[in-house]
A and B are shown apart, each in its own frame.
Chain A
Amino acid sequence: MMTYALRRLLMLPVVLFALSLMIFALQMSLSPTQRLAAYAPSDDYLKGGQESIRLMIEEYGLNDPFLEQYGRWIGNILQGNLGWSETARQPVAAALASLFPATMELVVLAFFPGLLLAIWLGSRAGIHHNRWPDHLIRLFTILGWSFPTYVFGLLMLLVFYSTLDWFPPGRLSQWAVTEVTSVGFTRYTGANTIDALLNGNLAVFWDAMRHLIAPVITLTYVNIASITRVMRTSMLETLRQDYVRTARAKGMPRRVVELHHARRNALLPVATIAGMELAYMMGGLVITETIFDYAGLGQFAAKSASSLDFPAVLGFGLYFAVVLVVLNLLVDLIYPLLDPRVKTR
């Protein structure tokens, strides 16, 4: 098991290197002037004339050979310098580090309760196959699947913010921002809920929660649909297995067979899809973050890409590659816990 994990970890730098080369090659297909837009995102710099543009291209070494530019970039990365993001107005590493807690706060609240709910719903649907709980759950998941995040998010805002004024967009109310930025408040993690609790400030905690509820519900509803359906299908297949029938024939209680024997085995495909969902969420939730004005990695990635902010795009690409590889590894490590037969193969 340990060897397996180490082998997967050793693959990480290789994957990252290949990915960095690919992303860098893509951006090098643009002309130096196009890449210059990354350093001067506003057209206003054109007013400086041809000379200003030439100077800027020289200044940033945008005419240097590919390997020289790549070497410069990768050398900086090895020193922990991912470059400067014009989009974030700060170093890429600092931007990723400051946005990560915000996205994680959202992901943790939306993913894990959502996962448990999806497993429960999927199990219920499988167990009550073609009966009304199954029909209801299928309807629920089909709606969630077919509802675009954008539409569902806007509906949430219209009802719970515009009409009820319960769950506002953003991460904090203005009064809470003033509180959080005051001298007496310490930012331990960057996650507002955790920091508020650590500071013993319940008012800020509740305010942060108020801002999280609508995006969390949106994410949960839209994302649990796929996991629920996979769980249901997997549960149905498992319930038809011989060992389940044998257990029932031996006189084991139905509930024990369904929950302890069948469900555990049905979780294997769920682990795979849940790992992918989690990676996707940790890569940033562009639409949810944009609609709910929630400053996170998704908004940052989208803005960087549309502004041709290459250092940010490259840095984010690397971050996402790490997330994917690490989560894949975790999923692989979880398999043997769910199914001991995997360990012996």
Chain B
Amino acid sequence: MHRALAASLGLGLGLMASVAIAETKNPGTFVFLWSDDIESFDPAYIADTPSSYGVLNVYSRLLNFKGSEISEFVPSLSTEVPTLDNGLIVENEDGSVSYTFPIRQDVHFHKVGIKGADGAISWKFYDELSEDERSSIQPGYGELTAEDVRYSLLRAMLMGKSWMANAITEMVTASKYPTIADWAQDVGGVDDIAKASPESLREVYDALASQIVVEGDRVTLTIPSSFPATLGIMALPFGASIVDQEWTSSVGGWDGSGDTWMTYYRPELSADPLFDQENGTGPFSLEEWDKTERRITLKRFEGFWDKPASLERVVIRSVPEWTTRRLQLLSGDADFVAAPVEFLDELAKTEGVKVVDGLPKVFPRGLFYFWPLDAVDNPAIGSGQLDGRGIPPDFFADIDVRKGFNYSQDYQVLLEQVLLGKTVQAHGPMVRGIMGYRKDSPVYSWDPEKATEHFKKAFNGKLWDVGFELTAYVRDGETQGVAALTVLQQGLQRVNPKFRLKIQSLPSSQLSALRNNREMPAAPLMYMGWGPDYSDPGGPLGAASYYLSPTGLVGGFSGQGYRDLMAEKFKPLLDEAWALNDPAEREPIYAKLQEMSFDYASTQFLWEDFAYIVVRDNIDGYVHNMITYGAWDFYPITKADN
């Protein structure tokens, strides 16, 4: 009796489990589980990758990246991609360059304005309109016009909130002004934009507006001199996504006037009317954002200017616990889950689950050197002297110290045992796919003899005799970073037992405090990674500028010594490359810069970061574009019924 009961129970459990796995749950709905959050749906506000997932899908841009390509584009709201050949890029006699975008006609936003009998405009979902109502749409209210494009770009720049949108300002001013605040302060002769007079603010607006001109259904953007990354910036979701002027104004956003823009400058998130509502032309509209449940629901836009998406709905949920996400994937309640790398091989063998692995990212990981360091009350440098119990504040100013560190790292061990052979060693700031990357450029390897040679030269031999002790930092939860520092720690010990590296994990905010917004950094060595936002290595958001410019992102926090080195050795070449139009002329310069980053051991470049996705096996259509960091464009995604 007992045996029969047990057998029945076992059979029942087995059947239920198999039923749970076999059936397709939520057909037509793509359930996307991650541990991130979207900050805002305003394209002029956002600057981080998770937030781009929302904007990318509810808004459209003038151009899109061509599939996985990072330097090729396809038309979107612009019916053509500007080129010199088709005459839409014109090099003017004064050195300025004009880009003309012919704007697509008969494109509707998700909500359109209907004029009532009393003359008042009410906004309704385009998909829910009757034929009669469609004929009552007020022209321009929810219908894409060239003016909307002009308004969107101006709004992104004038809002000044997102450093990604600020890249448009830098582009339009050909790098003269990184932000609208710099421009206004310069024109107004003040040190704070808040002190700028209404006249100078108007002057800035007029100058800016004169560079974006509407002629019929065409928008022409003129920039003072060549800016090679222009089309790349126009294809990014940040800032370059097109909003409807009339709707934005009707919900409390900027009215488009040159006299009022300062009122909308750098708003608080809660004061931004486009924070949690949208009216884009993208393939999905925002149906619901339940902030309590951390759930965003996107609904297919049937009135999309191209063929409607295959998915009816996309549900994006934040589920912090990995085990819960995993069980939901296995049971079919989730179609995609963000998964830790160490589970990939196991998931790949799981029935019903598909793993797409080894996707490239334009993102080198490295150990960053800082000098000179803050000597006051800084436990990371111990005694602050070269006495074996600490390091002097200018420790990494010595090139032999940096080279000694670079030769003390075992890159192969990291690639094979930590990254499981899924990626390659980083050669410098420019990774595969970025101009200047060459497969045969020199890289460091574990070489205790060379490490010894350089360490013996450092500080006239004193370092070798007395040794050192310093603390390296890594962000909480960065297991690969801890592994990289641990392997380095062991390497240094093997080179010289007097070399002691301590490793400390800290939350992101505390790392920022050790690195940013201070006269001198406090951290001598830190595990990090930064990636560019377009394929060109130059310009404000390019890979070479980020790492090798004295005013770049890395230069900004790595200490004055690092900045001086960059200013003296790297900046002349960076400027030279950026001034050239011909990619064939520019490429060797960036390749040279890449080699110089090796010669000067400016950073310990470890590996190229990589991406992967874990989905149910009935999911297809994912397009990985490494310049958008693998952000999910849900438009091509399909979910088959089993």
Contacts and interface: CB of A to CB of B under 8 A. Distances in A.
Contacts of A54: 517
A104 to B, nearest CB: 13
B323 A46 contact: no
B69 interface: no
A206 to B, nearest CB: 17
A98 B163 contact: no
Contacts of B321: 290-291, 293
Nearest to A42: B48
B19 A165 contact: yes
A33 B48 contact: no
Interface string A53-75: 11101010000000000000000
A171 B293 contact: yes
Contacts of B553: 46-47, 49
A163 interface: yes
Contact of A165 (B49, B295, B331): B331
A86 B269 CA distance: 9
A69 to B, nearest CB: 17
A246 B544 CA distance: 91
B513 A33 contact: yes
Given A59-B266, A161-B331, A169 B324 contact: yes
Interface band, chain A: 35 or more
Given A33-B516, A181-B297, A163 B510 contact: no
A163 B47 CA distance: 41
Contacts of B510: 34
A201 interface: no
Task: Name the prevailing secondary structure of the B interface residues.
Answer: mixed
A331 to B, nearest CB: 30
B16 interface: yes
A42 B516 CA distance: 14
A33 B292 contact: no
Nearest to B12: A164
Given A89-B291, A293-B321, A174 B37 contact: no
A162 B517 contact: no
B20 A45 contact: no
A299 B320 contact: yes
A163 B13 contact: yes
A36 B515 CA distance: 14
A162 B327 contact: yes
B31 interface: yes
Contacts of B13: 163-164
Interface in A170-202: 171, 173-175, 177, 181
A79 to B, nearest CB: 15
B509 to A, nearest CB: 3
A105 to B, nearest CB: 13
Interface string A231-249: 0000000000000000000
B554 to A, nearest CB: 10
Interface string B350-364: 000000000000000
B414 to A, nearest CB: 22
Contact size range, B:
35 or more
Most buried by B among A38, A41, A165: A165
Contact of A46 (B16, B25, B320, B557): B557
Given A49-B556, A299-B320, A169 B270 contact: no
A80 B333 CA distance: 40
A291 B331 contact: no
A51 B508 CA distance: 19
A306 B507 CA distance: 8
A82 interface: no
Contacts of B269: 84, 86, 89
A51 B182 CA distance: 10
Interface in B293-319: 293-295, 297, 315, 319
A48 B162 CA distance: 8
Contact of B324 (A49, A292, A303): A292
Q: Which of B16, B49, B327 is packed against the most chain A CB atoms within 10 Å? A: B327
A89 to B, nearest CB: 5
A53 B324 CA distance: 37
A106 B320 CA distance: 19
B517 A50 contact: yes
A102 interface: yes
Which secondary structure dominates where chain A touches chain B?
A: helix
Given A45-B47, A290-B321, A291-B323, A165 B29 contact: no
A118 interface: no
A163 B17 contact: yes
Contact of B163 (A45, A165, A169): A45
A43 B19 CA distance: 44
B330 interface: yes
Contact of A295 (B26, B293, B324, B518): B293
A87 B292 CA distance: 10
B516 A46 contact: yes
A52 interface: yes
Nearest to A49: B556
Interface string B23-61: 001100101000001010000000111100000000000
Contacts of A41: 508
A120 to B, nearest CB: 29
Given A33-B516, A34-B509, A95 B292 contact: yes
Given A89-B276, A162-B330, A174-B29, A47 B47 contact: yes
Nearest to A31: B513
B270 A91 contact: yes
B270 A84 contact: yes
Interface in B511-529: 512-513, 516-518
A154 B39 CA distance: 30
A76 interface: no
A242 to B, nearest CB: 50
Interface string B323-353: 1100110110100000000000000000000
Contacts of B294: 295
Contact of B516 (A50, A86, A291, A303): A50
B331 A174 contact: no
B268 interface: yes
Contacts of B275: 89
B288 interface: yes
Interface string B369-395: 000000000000000000000000000
A55 B185 CA distance: 14
A168 B270 contact: no
B509 A308 contact: yes
Interface in B545-564: 551, 553, 556-557
B166 interface: yes
Contact of B327 (A43, A86, A169, A295): A169
Most buried by A among B29, B270, B276: B270
Interface in B171-189: 178-179, 181
A203 to B, nearest CB: 16
A162 B331 contact: yes
B41 to A, nearest CB: 10
Nearest to B20: A165
Contacts of B276: 89
Interface in A147-173: 154, 157-158, 161-165, 168-169, 171, 173
Interface string A286-299: 00001111010001
Contacts of A50: 516-517, 556
Contacts of B293: 171, 295
Given A59-B266, A84-B268, A165-B331, 12 more contacts: A43-B508, A45-B163, A54-B517, A89-B276, A90-B270, A95-B292, A161-B331, A169-B328, A174-B31, A174-B333, A175-B26, A292-B324
23 contacts: A31-B513, A34-B509, A36-B517, A41-B508, A42-B50, A46-B512, A47-B530, A47-B553, A48-B47, A49-B551, A51-B181, A55-B266, A59-B266, A91-B270, A162-B17, A163-B17, A165-B19, A168-B331, A174-B315, A181-B290, A293-B319, A293-B321, A303-B320
List the 9 closest A-B pairs by CB distance, nearest first.
A37-B509, A165-B20, A48-B163, A98-B292, A44-B48, A53-B517, A42-B48, A33-B517, A34-B513
